[in-house]
Amino acid sequence: MKKYIVANLKMNKNFDQFENYLENLNLKKNNNEIIICPSNIFLEKIYKRDLPISIGAQDVDHRVEGAATGSTSAAQIKNICDYTLVGHSERRETFSENNFMIGEKLLRCWENSITPILCVGENLEIRKSGIKNVENHLYSQITQSLNDNSKFEKLIIAYEPIWAIGTGLSASIKEVSEVSEMLKNKLLEISNIEISILYGGSVNLSNYKELLAVSSISGLLIGSASLDPKVFSEISNNS
């Protein structure tokens, strides 16, 4: 089955470094979909290259247009991007994005034929308080941002436990299986379209294969390890 391998480059690389990154990517065409999400200033640069990838943004504004200094709308990226991350924990934390604002972002994506990759995940305190609380937290992130909207056509969910992001401490295979199964069942209640679930959080060359082997996981969202074009190419080519 097709897997999604997504690179979240975050706020990394200057102009020359990004050029160098593209030069050193060595991606082979295979059945998987490779999605690269660079900073917005690089979207057009990557679009103009003939690479076997899809392009994603890291975020979009929740409004349609207008007085939103510094923001980018879904309509502005729609000709370049097929995907965008929405609700990444770094945005939820630093920019106080809540599920309702994230719900508006989802609507802007669907209005512009962009597939949102909705990031959800619990912090360490919730994880330590037991699986039932993890489940409740993830369900409320999903249901509050979907806001009873079950008419969407495309949605990908990325399960990214906050305690695993950028820490070098990936969730265990058991934890990833348990949560992804739970989410799969919940999503079946909400919508009759197939919603892929990705895992993100300290994915690297030593753990990507076993994470991808989890049957309810359809791909990976990779931060730090995607910054090295050789590492990202190796993961993408062998997934």
Active-site option among 33, 97, 160, 175? 160
CA dist., res. 214 & res. 218, Å (int): 8
| Interaction of residue 211 with ligand PEP, rule CB under 6 A | no
- For residue 141, the minimal CB distance to ligand PEP (Å) is 15
Q: How far is CA 208 from CA 40, 77, 101, 220, in A?
A: 27, 30, 32, 8
| Interaction of residue 162 with ligand PEP, rule CB under 6 A | no
Closest CA to 46 of 27, 68, 60: 27
Which segments of the chain are extended strands (E)? Answer: 4-8, 33-37, 54-57, 83-86, 115-120, 156-159, 196-200, 219-222
- For residue 194, the minimal CB distance to ligand PEP (Å) is 23
| Interaction of residue 116 with ligand PEP, rule CB under 6 A | no
Looking at the Cβ atoms of 49 and 209, the one nearer to ligand PEP is 209
State yes or no: is 137 an active-site residue.
no
- For residue 8, the minimal CB distance to ligand PEP (Å) is 4
- For residue 186, the minimal CB distance to ligand PEP (Å) is 21
CB atoms within 10 A of CB 121: 27
- Candidates 72-80, 98-106, 199-207, 230-238: pick the segment binding ligand PEP (CB under 6 A): 199-207
Strand, helix or coil at 197?
strand
| Interaction of residue 183 with ligand PEP, rule CB under 6 A | no
Structure tokens that stand for 31 in this block: 């059945």
| Interaction of residue 222 with ligand PEP, rule CB under 6 A | yes
Question: Which residues carry out catalysis?
Answer: 88, 160
